[in-house]
Structure 1
Amino acid sequence: MQEDSKGSPGHNFDELKERFQNNIYGTPKGRLRLDLINEDLEAHLTERLGEGAWRVLDIGCGAAMISGRLAQAGHRLTLTDLSAEMLTAARANLESLGAAQACEEWREGAMQDVLPQLQGPYDLIIIHAVLEWMDDPRPALELALSKLRRGGVLSLAFYNRNSLIYRNLLQGNFRKLKKNNWRHRKGGLTPQNPLDPDEVYGWLEQAGLRQICKRGIRTFYDFMQKHVARERSYEDVLEMERAHSQKEPYLSLGRYIHVLYQKE
């Protein structure tokens, strides 16, 4: 449940699980997010973390679509989510992959409440599409980083304020931009606090982490006219996203930004 206080724990998707699953995972938008993030993980993690089983903490795991693949590869998971329904979906996903035994801990609750209870350190911490649901995300991020070992890797994906501003410019929503108000109707799937990428990078650098890679997720797809998007194959869209998502200016227009950082 979304709270308005400074200590907002995030957004609880219990009542929106089916809609979330369909809108996020059952569409080209969701597939692009999963495919591009997985490519980043496959390209960099083994080089940074080495062979063998890693301890992985997935915060706001949803249905464990990312960490499920890591479980299949033999890594050990701790899964947390504010939503009991999402944890149920994650358990079902791991069972369908034959990897349920890879999850050592399941924790329901806000990350600010759950993290102090966990025994780190972890080799890999995943925080995807979580911080933008909080009113004050930096303290929660810093708490998560305290659970990351030296040399460990953070995989962070967040809703990009730049992309939202650009989309509203294209739509002529000038009054909304002048108010700088990103609040949307309750019960929706649009985050309440889109993040400024440069601000997030600053937080991570000040916490002693070094950037490994950076990618925009859906740098152009969300801006395409609907009839044009329908006429293009998923494979063609993915190819073009790959070609443009790691170079400017396209990267900084991605609906989401995905980064990997290593703790020094």
Structure 2
Amino acid sequence: MHPNDKLTHYELTQAGDRYFDGLADKFSRSLYQAPRGELRLTMLDYLLPQMLQLSEQKVLDVGGGLGQQAAWFAGRGHAVTMAEPSSDMLTYAQQWHRDEKTLPQEVITYLQAPLQELPLQVPGPWSLITCHAVLEWLGDPQAALAILSRLLAPGGQLSLMVFNRDALRFSNAVKGNLEKALSDRLAGKGKRQRLTPISPVSHNEITQWSVESGLQIVSVAGIRVFQDYLRQPPATPAENETLLALEKQYCRQDPHWRLGRYLLYTLIKPETPE
């Protein structure tokens, strides 16, 4: 039996991780059919070709969720192995991919497995790994980054996106949750349907953990640098276009990227260890 089979959607695993069985529809509504989710995907579409060297290489998509990133790579000629621990999420992704008639079905392989099992099931080594919005749902994100490094081939690239703890603190302050921001009580509990990550991470942590895992950060960007702090959401298509232009202009500029709701990294594994 898969370790997730005994779990209801509001429980953590024994490792302290959060899976999302029973929440596929909520994810779809909250994260991808809403303006914030749409902007996140638009910014990934804008940034990934800038931040990665893409040559139709095989991709391991870790914690692939509803399958958006797997579809993005498959549509650009990559053979993708999509690993996802939640059976509900994986089923949703497979159905959505089948419904997308223009998507080459044969290039996506589906694997129900958590990140910790991947060195046994798909050891690679992989020249390109994506792991987007996964570490913040794990009990030990530092150990997870070390596992991703093990899976990566020398010279390989890791596209890593994490939920930014510093942005979460700033957002709470903007909303008036001053005591919560001051006391740093930012992490979610992972035991209800709320989608506040249980392990939001900071740029300083990613920097430290990367060094310890033998990885080098070669580029970083902030995703949703401004949108989450707006007092009023854009009311017209023209305002949406202006917001998108603002996000694109400053997503890689210091200091603005540091307050992106998500931080997007490209890390490489040096061919010769230093």
If the length of structure 1 is used for normalisation, what is the TM-score?
A: 0.89
- RMSD (CA atoms): 1.9
Distance 1:63 1:72 in 2: 16
* Counterpart mapping for 1:18-33 below 5 A: 18-33=25-40
Match of 2:124 among 120, 125, 133: 120
Structure with the largest fraction of helix: 1
- Structure 2 counterpart of 1:229, which letter? P
Q: Report the Cα offset of residue 212 of structure 1.
A: 2.4
Q: Determine the structure 2 residue equivalent to 1:150.
A: 154
Q: Determine the structure 2 residue equivalent to 1:261.
A: 267
* Equivalent residues of 1:108, 1:114 under 8 A apart: no
Distance 1:234 1:85 in 2: 32
* Identity across matched positions, percent: 30
Distance 2:176 2:246 in 1: 27
Q: Report the Cα offset of residue 36 of structure 1.
A: 1.4
* Equivalent residues of 1:75, 1:102 under 8 A apart: yes
Match of 1:98 among 100, 103, 110: 103
* Equivalent residues of 2:85, 2:113 under 8 A apart: yes
Which SS does the other structure have where 2:258 is aligned? helix
Unaligned runs of 5+ in 1: none
Q: Report the Cα offset of residue 229 of structure 1.
A: 2.6
Distance 1:94 1:145 in 2: 29
Which SS does the other structure have where 2:50 is aligned? helix
* Equivalent residues of 2:234, 2:240 under 8 A apart: no
| Deviates most, 33-42 or 175-184 | 175-184
Q: Report the Cα offset of residue 207 of structure 1.
A: 2.2
Matched, 1:111 2:126: no
* Counterpart mapping for 1:59-74 below 5 A: 59-74=62-77
Matched, 1:41 2:52: no
* Equivalent residues of 2:24, 2:66 under 8 A apart: no
Q: Deviations over 1:142-169 (max 9, x none)?
A: 1121111111110111110111111122
Q: Determine the structure 2 residue equivalent to 1:202.
A: 208
Distance 2:181 2:50 in 1: 37
* Equivalent residues of 1:132, 1:192 under 8 A apart: yes
Distance 1:248 1:180 in 2: 24
Q: Report the Cα offset of residue 4 of structure 1.
A: 7.1
Matched, 1:188 2:191: no
* Equivalent residues of 2:159, 2:264 under 8 A apart: yes
Distance 2:123 2:105 in 1: 20
Matched, 1:3 2:12: yes
Which SS does the other structure have where 1:229 is aligned? coil
Matched, 1:229 2:238: no
Q: Determine the structure 1 residue equivalent to 2:141.
A: 137
Q: Deviations over 1:115-135 (max 9, x none)?
A: 422130111111111110112
If the length of structure 2 is used for normalisation, what is the TM-score?
A: 0.86
Unaligned runs of 5+ in 2: 1-8
- Structure 2 counterpart of 1:167, which letter? S
- Structure 1 counterpart of 2:113, which letter? G
Matched, 1:171 2:178: no
Distance 2:220 2:262 in 1: 11
